[in-house]
Chains A and B, each alone.
Chain A
Amino acid sequence: MKKKLTLVLLLVSLLMMFGVRAVVAQDTFFGKTAAELFPDSSDSERELAFKALMAANIPDGRALGEGKTITIGTLGQGARGGISGTIYFWRPAFEAATGATVEIVEIPYGQLGTTIPADFLTGQYTYDAFVAAAWQYGDWVSNEWIQPIDAWIGDERFPAWALEDVAPPFRALLQWGGQTYGTQMDGDAQLLYYRNDILNDPAWQEQFKAETGKDMVVPPQTWQQLYDITNFFNGKDWNNDGDPDDGISLHLKAGGQGHFHYATLAASFAVTPADGDDAMAVSKFDNVFWFDPDDMTPLINQPGHVAALEFLQQLAATGQEAQFGWELGAAWDNFLQGNAIATFSWGDVGSLSQDPGRSIIKGNLGAAVIPCSDTWYDRETGEFVTNTDAPNCVGNTTGGSWHPVMSAFTDEPDLTYFFMSMIANPVINFYDATTGWQGIDPCCTYQLFPPRGDATPDDYAAVGFDASDMERYIAAYGENVFSKPTSLTYLRIPGTLEYIQNSLDVRLSEAMTGQKTAQEALDATAEDWADITESLGVESQLEIYQQAIGYAGS
């Protein structure tokens, strides 16, 4: 009896020991507590991040990384800023899982075209991987600065992620010439955001009808309908704060990324989808936006573009004059603080709207696919087309879709891929896209609602988001990427930054601040572009451009 009791006690003690160990194991990640891994986070953020980390099933990478160091270059916006914040945030967890050290080099947006190319061109090879924009592939791949990662994908030694989970338009941005170079992280596309509560208020709808003679279409389907709405609300005190409020909120300062918004808007004025079954087929006249795919003649001063820029000038006039001096964050804040009826921008606005530290519109966010245009230019016929019943709709994946790529010169490819795949892990990526401050936008099926993906509004409610806001925002995000007949082609050629930042961005600012007319500004852009192409070599640029947009010749 005594022996039996001793045996039972021993068994209970053993079970308790294992139980305690199991609890301890649950409370640490490779020996690190949540407080050690996320020292700068609030309790709720730390709890959610740790939960995501534990659910990510990160394998033991210490055999790969013990005592080693890798260097990651990233778009730099600080340890709690967009894109670079993600790298800082998960660094301690990666270091715990691998025993390696990560050095982070932040590169300001304006220096992206300088720092990384200069590093390769001068043979320094500082970075094992760098987080930068998909539009830089033209430079990176053609110069063989980055290497394909297909051989690593699916290897069980590394954190799991699946290329199939990435929505096809974003997947295409991780690839070049049939090979995969990047691991997914951020899916940039621009949406229309509006104040759901105000636009659906019957009193405002009635007043709109009385003033304009039209029904207010909510959400607006075309840019022209959006203009009617922003023009109606601009200058009215619709938020009852005692001051006149804005119609639209844009950011138009040179160097402030406003050129992306121009491209999103101009697409439906200047791009025509292809006839036939495949609306996205690229021909000399269809689905081209930047250059003539036969000879690299700039198309930026074509009538469709000029009409788009003139429309942007008109639309901007329904907001504050100060927006001509704003950068991205200022325009977002103006909308998030309830001072503007609408804005169009990336997915960041959707997740930031749920952050009470930055937004007062949680629960009132309206989101919709980017509008179409009821007037557009057909280059093939050389005429403008107007059709209010069947407007021209062009989707977009405008932006950087920031993600890591691996340097072709890294000495630690396995360890580097471990880091890249850890950031790409679905659980971690889902968490990142719900923080707002990280600037990570939805890219994948596990973030989108059916039929595009398998997420639900409850998944977002679980991280504190407003479910009804998410029903509009996430649904619109999926629709924006999948439902349009065609999409704006991505400019991914050598010198993209030169074409865009040094020229288009500056010329747009000249037009928006009245220094040049739309036609003059875009003519000057076309001249700049022709010079840049000539200096880089027309033949080589043409070949890469055709490859980038999938043009097989006329």
Chain B
Amino acid sequence: MLVLKPMMQKTSAKYFFLMPGVLWILAFTLFPLVYSLYLSFTDFRLGKEPQFVGTKNYVEILGLDGEGGDDKALETATFSLFLTLGSTSMTLIMGTLIAWVFNHDLPMLRQMRAIITMPLFAAPIALGFLGVVIFNETNGPLNNILQGLGFERIQWIIDPWGARFAVLITDTWQWTPFVFIVVLAAMQSIPEDLYESARLDTRSNWILFRRITFPLIAPALGTVALLRLVETIKILDIPISLTGGGPGAATQTYSYYVYQIGLRGSFQLGDASALSYLVVIIAIIISSIYFWRVRARFD
């Protein structure tokens, strides 16, 4: 009869319990990552045998062959950048502002907090469809409010810039509560005695915020900013449901373009993989800069 030594038993148990997690990561994270990297060096179109083409896909997208590159990739990347910077900064500013308000003793705070966080739990695609109603040029509530306040009606969906801002506003609306929750938690972890001591020197709320609150919530803001940047670079569902990527291609994001090339009729998975890897590289650069800054700060 085979008798395992206690040490071996312990080791086997360890591997046994690790196995599901490792298999999951191998199957659903590493394999797709490596396989799509391989595809990005092929001309693979679903239904046809892939041929290895080296760096041709990357060269063509970036225009390194002197052909000017992929205009549509550049166009959609530009809109994604606008959305990423716009939405990230808007959510950070608004989320922090709301958190600061909620960090005070106010009536009905709990109820208001529950209401404010609701958009976070909605599916982005549903918010996009809701946006179709809200931003309706003729009968939408937003234009009715604007008109009631004496402003001109805005052509939200049919004007390219109107549509871009409609997407930006919808994404900001959804993600502001996320920033709010994280920042509020960070604010509430600041010891009250710091404020009490500081109030001996000043009564200005702005100075208290600038000198105490902001430095102490900065790490949380940094993490949130990183998550928002990476999240917004990938945005696809809101433009699809709200504007259909239009008018024209005005609200097609980079992810929308990748989806179109890879899965919407074309199935050019080689090109789509190369386009995706360029985003991965950008996301890695962003997060590396962030971690380098954080490390520098704590070192």
Contacts from A to B (Cβ < 8 Å): 110-111, 113-114, 117-118, 121-122, 143, 253-256, 320-322, 324-325, 495, 497-498, 501-502, 506-507, 509-513, 515-516, 532, 535
B134 on the interface (CB 8 Å rule)?
A: no
By the criterion CB–CB under 8 Å, are A497 and B246 in contact? no
Give complex CA distance A114, B267 in Å.
8
**Top 7 closest pairs, chain A to chain B, by CB:** A254-B246, A510-B248, A255-B244, A113-B265, A325-B157, A324-B158, A513-B247
Per-position contact with A for B234-271: 1 when CB-CB < 8 Å, else 0?
A: 00000010011111111010000000100111111000
* Interchain CA distance A143-B45 in the complex, whole Å: 14
A519 to B: closest C-beta gap in Å: 15
List 16 contacting pairs A-B, 8 Å CB cutoff, sorted by A.
A110-B240, A110-B244, A114-B263, A117-B265, A121-B46, A121-B47, A121-B267, A253-B246, A322-B136, A325-B136, A325-B155, A495-B265, A497-B264, A506-B249, A510-B247, A535-B268
- We find that the number of chain B residues with CB closer than 8 angstroms to chain A is 29
| Chain B interface helix/strand/loop/mixed | loop
In the complex, what residue of chain A is closest to B265 when comparing beta carbons? A113
Most buried by A among B157, B246, B260, B268: B246
- Tell me which residues across on chain B come within 8 A of A254, comparing CB atoms: 243-249
Give CA–CA (A169, B266) in the complex, Å: 29
Complex contact A110–B264 (CB within 8 A): yes
B159 within 8 A of A: yes
Q: A253-B244, A255-B246, A515-B250 are in contact. List 4 more A-B contacts (CB 8 A).
A: A254-B243, A254-B244, A510-B249, A513-B246
Q: Which of A322, A498, A509 contacts B246 (CB 8 A)?
A: A509
Residues of chain B lying within 8 A (CB to CB) of residue A320: 138
* Contact B157–A253 (Cβ < 8 Å): yes
Q: Are A253 and B45 in contact (CB under 8 A)?
A: no
A255 to B268, CA, bound (A): 21
Closest to B266 in A: A498
B160 contacts partner chain A, Cβ-Cβ < 8 Å: yes
Interface of A is mostly: helix
By a CB distance below 8 angstroms, the chain B residues around A325 are 136-137, 155-158, 247
- B263 proximity list for chain A (CB < 8 A): 114, 118
CB-nearest residue of chain A relative to B252? A506
Chain A: CB-nearest residue to B46: A121
Q: With A501-B264, A502-B266 known to touch, is A507 a contact of B158 (CB < 8 Å)?
A: no
**Residues of chain B contacted by A113 (CB below 8 angstroms):** 264-265
Which of A118, A324, A502, A506 makes the CB contact (< 8 A) with B46? A118
Q: Are A515 and B160 in contact (CB under 8 A)?
A: yes
Residue pair A253, B247 in contact (C-beta under 8 Å): yes
* One of B247, B264, B265, B268 near A324 (C-beta < 8 A): B247
- B264 and A114: CB pair below 8 A? yes
B247 & A509 in contact (Cβ 8 Å cutoff) = yes
Could you say which residues of chain A place their CB within 8 Å of the CB of B240? 110
Chain A nearest CB, measured from B247 CB (Å): 4
List residues of chain B with CB within 8 A of the CB of A511: 248
Q: Determine the chain A residues whose CB is within 8 A of the CB of B246 once the complex forms.
A: 253-255, 506, 509, 513
Q: How far is the CA of A536 from the CA of B264 in the complex (A)?
A: 15
**Most chain A C-beta atoms within 10 Å of own C-beta, residue among B160, B248, B264:** B248
How far apart sit A253 and B243, CA to CA, in the bound complex (Å)? 8
Partner of B265, one of A114, A122, A322, A509: A114
When distances are taken between beta carbons in the complex, the residues of chain B under 8 Å from A532 are 266
A506 to B252, CA, bound (A): 10
Pick from B155, B247, B266 the residue with the most CB of A within 10 Å: B247
Query: In the complex, what residues of A have CB within 8 A of residue B137's CB?
Result: 321-322, 325
Tell me whether A535 and B158 are in contact in the complex, defined as CB-CB below 8 angstroms, given that A255-B245, A498-B265 are known contacts.
no
Smallest CB-CB separation from B257: which chain A residue?
Answer: A502
